[in-house]
Amino acid sequence: MSTNHSGRTRQRNGIAIGEGAIRKIFPAFVVLMWITTFFWVKNGQWTSFNTVLAIEATVICAIVFVNFVYVFNFGYAAALFVLNLTIIITQGHCLGAVIIGGLLMIYAIRLFIFVWQRYQAESFAPRKQGTQMAHKALPTPIKIALFVQTSTLMTFHAMTTYNISQHAKTEGTNGVSGWLIIGALILAQGLVIEALADSQKQKAKKLNGSTWVESGLFAKTRHPNYLGEILVQAGLIISGFGTGNHWYIYAAGILSPLYIIILMLSATTGGELLKQQKYGEDPQYRAYMRRSNPLLPRLRKTLV
């Protein structure tokens, strides 16, 4: 989903760098991740396994040279699945890591299938052609910078699962804590909401692609898909509470999902402005706005 609005994301189905202010935030977050890595290495806690995760993320993100848009959906899904699977298999089958990593792997499979089906649809052909043209027009130095930045982002997104497994190994536990249970429930709820919202939106657009969606989850919130993504990332952050003994351990688990939350908030703002420009003069859309909220569902009934 692409517009010229300064806060809008270029690609919704996965990670995106966004535009305007949010585009400037991405490199800042990547630099913070590099600083975190420096302290991790300096204090002797960066292991060869962390390097393996970074290599896996780097190989996957090389898809940016095939089509830079792919790194935000197919690349994101592949990194989630491969890195979390690697942690689960090699780090002692910690139950806490299995729960969080498993949920993220389910999310990755759902995302990959959804994007694949969308790319195969005839209605998506013009947009698919547009991304190919945009890829050809993007300068190689920008692609290289994007490759480096997304590789860092994907590596750090797996750090919560890794931290859970390492903390459990150190403490001699199964890695399940109160924070992890709360985080897992929020993450799972977000996964369901986003999957349901994407499904409902696609079905509605097939029936009428020229108007907004206000059925199902969209009846009370105008961007339930963004809300679902935010809950996934918030749940991931919460599940990692209590798993670090140094600030950089916590930072490693927070930075990547926090960036995605900020990105989704920016996407919500951009989506609101886009729809306002497109449908703002329609009385039915104004009525829909009164009975719904941009992000959090409106619970009270509004008289229209």
Question: pLDDT per residue over 273-304, tens digit each?
Answer: 888 888 888 899 899 888 899 888 876 665 44
Measured CA to CA, the distance from residue 78 to residue 81 in angstroms comes to 5
Q: Kindly report, residue by residue over 22-74, the tens digit of the pLDDT.
A: 667 889 999 999 999 999 999 998 999 999 999 999 999 999 999 999 999 99
Angle between helices 74-90 and 95-120 (to 10 degrees): 160
Measured CA to CA, the distance from residue 175 to residue 88 in angstroms comes to 12
Percent of the chain with pLDDT over 90: 59
Instruction: List beta partners, residue 293.
Output: 221
* CA gyration radius, the chain: 20
The residues, any chain, with a CB within 8 Å of residue 303's CB and separated by 6 or more, are: none
Name the pLDDT band for 226 (thresholds 50, 70, 90).
very high
Cα three-residue angle 71-77-81, rounded to 5 degrees: 130
Measured CA to CA, the distance from residue 257 to residue 154 in angstroms comes to 10
Measured CA to CA, the distance from residue 189 to residue 304 in angstroms comes to 30
Residue 185, token pair as written in the block: 């429930």
The count of other CB atoms within 10 Å of the CB of residue 87 is 28
Measured CA to CA, the distance from residue 186 to residue 184 in angstroms comes to 5
Amino acid identity of 80? L
Average pLDDT for the chain: 87
Is residue 198 scored above 70 in pLDDT? yes
The residues, any chain, with a CB within 8 Å of residue 186's CB and separated by 6 or more, are: 231, 234, 235, 238
Q: Kindly report, residue by residue over 228-264, the tens digit of the pLDDT.
A: 999 999 999 999 998 878 899 989 999 999 999 999 9
Measured CA to CA, the distance from residue 218 to residue 288 in angstroms comes to 10
Q: Which of 16-20, 99-103, 297-301 has the lowest mean pLDDT?
A: 16-20
Is residue 5 scored above 90 in pLDDT? no
Buried/exposed 130-165: b ≥16 CB within 10 Å, e otherwise = ebeeebeeeeeeeeeebbbbbbbbbbbbbbbbbbbb
The count of other CB atoms within 10 Å of the CB of residue 127 is 15
User: Helices (DSSP H) in 91-158: which residue ranges?
Assistant: 95-120, 125-137, 140-157
